[in-house]
Amino acid sequence: MKKIITLCSALLLSLSITSVIAKTQITSDEASQQAYDQVLHSFIDQEGPGVAVIVSKNGKVLYKKARGMANIEHQIPLTTDSVFRLGSITKQFTAAAIMMLSEQGKLSVSDDIHKYVPDFPTEGQVVTIENLLTHTSGIANYTEDQHIWNNLITTETTLDAMLKEFAKHPMPLKTGEAMRYSNTGYVLLGKIIEVASKETYADFIEKHIFAKLGMKSSQYGGRQLIANRASGYSKTEHGYENAGPVNMMWPHAAGSLLSTVDDLNIWFTGLRNGTLISKESYKAMTRHFVLNDKSTSDYGYGLGMYKLNKYDAIGHGGGIHGFVTNAFYIPTEDLYVAVLNNNDSGNPGDIAQLLAAKALNIDFPEFKAVTLSDKKISAFVGSYQISGESKRIISTENGSIYSQRDDGHKWLIKPMSDNSFYYEGSLSYFTIDKNEQGKQIMNFYSGLATSPEVAIKQ
């Protein structure tokens, strides 16, 4: 009997310890969720347009949430099932479609584009499909044409009619000279997909990507009714208004797709793990392009490569009437973050970076304003030489502090310590210290960068 009691006591002790561990785990999980929530709360007003976000790591969703309104007029909240226009995140789908056709032997990325669009002018230069994919074609960007942007973007058109309009633009660069973003290049890729596959771009993406991966809430944009579609908004000095119209034929393969955060998570998992294209094709998509002068560009096929803190990231942002988006993947951590925003003046990039910082335990400032005396502030006012002719000027006006680089925008900044300032609504900040010679040194950190851009007060 005594032995039984001892065993029971041990069992109860074990259960008690398990219960404590479980409670600790729940508390830890709740704290983590609250930390993510705080990021959304700091950027998004619940009563205005907002975001849907997802954070996944090692195949597990760490955080998924929506905040703000899908439709302000009818007071319909956003949910994680809300459908957003993706803007230029579309480009990675277009690039993957090209790789699928390449694997099928229907084209090669080294093909001259005139094999598929013989009448499009390239001013005697050989432009390959790869040049279009990497924005190194030298072909102009039609969204910089104010006539198209102001007068044509809402009108009915066809793909061939659009390309005829784009053909009027002279090439600003030699092919392979530099990476210069071109939406025209990606519309041309859409045409190439149609010629090589003998399907419309919309049908190809639906049949060979969305259906294959089970992306049931994703589609090519148009005039069709779409369940759970979020309305798009623009911010003016008087508040929010409905975003201007756009005929979705114009963005085509450069920016016409719609999706949800869940579907994007499915998408990038399928893209990188070999479900959709081979791992070799994925490597090609994420490889730096070698320019004519042997330097490299930080852009592959529909995806950019950059540093996020100490990590290498692969991703893309997007912007289209009423919407801005951002999504990236950190390979070493198997971390994917996507942020979809139905306000075209929103800042999904900073939200995405901060969510990643929470997931990876990256330290960053609180960006909380403190009060400094006028005397302390005046000691920082002046011109700071960055490099060459570039400089950053700190000034005051009507009690506020501003930072301006060269002839750029004058940004409002706020002190967060005796010697540091942050840019309101941004992750950028700087500190000012004195070096051994007694000169004031500005250390400027963009986003979550680990090393600063240094400037010396003149």
Asked if 79 and 228 count as a contact pair (C-beta separation under 8 A), the reply is yes
Q: Can you read off the two tokens belonging to residue 181?
A: 């973003």
pLDDT tops 70 at residue 4:
no
Asked if 428 and 444 count as a contact pair (C-beta separation under 8 A), the reply is yes
H or E segment to which residue 386 belongs: strand 382-387
Listed residues 338, 360, 382: the one ending a domain: 360
DSSP 8-state code for residue 36: H
Q: Please check whether residues 204 and 98 belong to one and the same domain.
A: yes
Count how many residues are written for the chain.
Answer: 458
445 confidence band (pLDDT: 50, 70, 90): very high
Asked if 284 and 301 count as a contact pair (C-beta separation under 8 A), the reply is yes
The string of DSSP codes covering 240-296 is EEEPPP--TTTTHHHH-EEE-HHHHHHHHHHHHTTSSS-HHHHHHHTSPEE-TTS-E
Average pLDDT of the chain to the nearest whole number? 93
Domain that holds residue 310: 84-360
Position 27 scores a pLDDT of 53
Whole-angstrom distance, CA of residue 91 vs CA of residue 426:
26
Radius of gyration of the chain (CA): 25
Residue 352 falls within a domain, yes or no?
yes
pLDDT tens, 408-421?
999 999 999 999 99
Asked if 154 and 214 count as a contact pair (C-beta separation under 8 A), the reply is no
Strands 453-457 and 382-387: antiparallel
Helices 261-272 & 90-103 angle (0-180, nearest 10): 30
Q: Can you read off the two tokens belonging to residue 213?
A: 């991966």
- Other beta carbons within 10 angstroms of residue 60's beta carbon come to 8
Q: Please check whether residues 143 and 232 belong to one and the same domain.
A: yes
Listed residues 304, 325, 360: the one ending a domain: 360
Residue 181 falls within a domain, yes or no?
yes
Residue 383 falls within a domain, yes or no?
yes
Whole-angstrom distance, CA of residue 29 vs CA of residue 7:
33
**CATH classification at residue 378:** 2.40.128
Listed residues 319, 338, 360: the one ending a domain: 360
Q: Please check whether residues 99 and 186 belong to one and the same domain.
A: yes
pLDDT tens, 67-113?
999 999 999 999 999 999 999 999 999 999 999 999 999 999 999 99
For the residues 278-284, what does the mean pLDDT come to?
98
DSSP 8-state code for residue 23: H
Q: Please check whether residues 397 and 253 belong to one and the same domain.
A: no
pLDDT tens, 133-192?
999 999 999 999 999 999 999 999 999 999 999 999 999 999 999 999 999 999 999 999
Give the contacts of 173 (CB within 8 A, at least 6 positions apart).
138, 180
237 confidence band (pLDDT: 50, 70, 90): confident
Q: Can you read off the two tokens belonging to residue 380?
A: 């920082």
Q: Please check whether residues 132 and 166 belong to one and the same domain.
A: yes
Three-state DSSP class for residue 38: helix
- Any idea which residue has 């071109």 for tokens? 182
Give backbone dihedrals phi and psi of 455, rounded to 5 degrees, phi first.
-135, 145
pTM over 0.75: yes
Q: Please check whether residues 412 and 435 belong to one and the same domain.
A: yes
The string of DSSP codes covering 118-183 is TTS--TT---BHHHHHTT-S----GGG-HHIIIIITTS---HHHHHHHHTTSPPSS-TTS-----H
Whole-angstrom distance, CA of residue 242 vs CA of residue 213:
33
Position 30 scores a pLDDT of 86
Helices 159-166 & 183-197 angle (0-180, nearest 10): 140
Percent of the chain with pLDDT over 70: 94
Residue 378 falls within a domain, yes or no?
yes
Whole-angstrom distance, CA of residue 430 vs CA of residue 452:
8
Q: Please check whether residues 308 and 415 belong to one and the same domain.
A: no
Q: Please check whether residues 263 and 408 belong to one and the same domain.
A: no
Number of domains in the chain: 2
pLDDT tens, 247-277?
999 999 999 999 999 999 999 999 999 999 9
Whole-angstrom distance, CA of residue 448 vs CA of residue 365:
10
Q: Please check whether residues 221 and 300 belong to one and the same domain.
A: yes
Three-state DSSP class for residue 55: strand
Q: Please check whether residues 280 and 204 belong to one and the same domain.
A: yes
Asked if 116 and 281 count as a contact pair (C-beta separation under 8 A), the reply is no
The string of DSSP codes covering 440-451 is EEEEEE-TT-SS
Whole-angstrom distance, CA of residue 116 vs CA of residue 201:
14
Residue 446 falls within a domain, yes or no?
yes
Whole-angstrom distance, CA of residue 43 vs CA of residue 349:
11
Residue 44 falls within a domain, yes or no?
no
Longest dimension (CA), the chain: 97
Residue 336 falls within a domain, yes or no?
yes
Residue 31 falls within a domain, yes or no?
no
Which residues make beta-bridge pairs with 339?
53, 326
pLDDT tops 50 at residue 22:
no
Q: Please check whether residues 383 and 244 belong to one and the same domain.
A: no
Contacts by 45-49, CB closer than 8 A, 24 or more apart? 47/72, 48/72, 48/233, 48/240, 48/343, 49/231, 49/232, 49/233, 49/240, 49/341, 49/342, 49/343, 49/346
Q: Please check whether residues 301 and 232 belong to one and the same domain.
A: yes
**CATH classification at residue 231:** 3.40.710.10
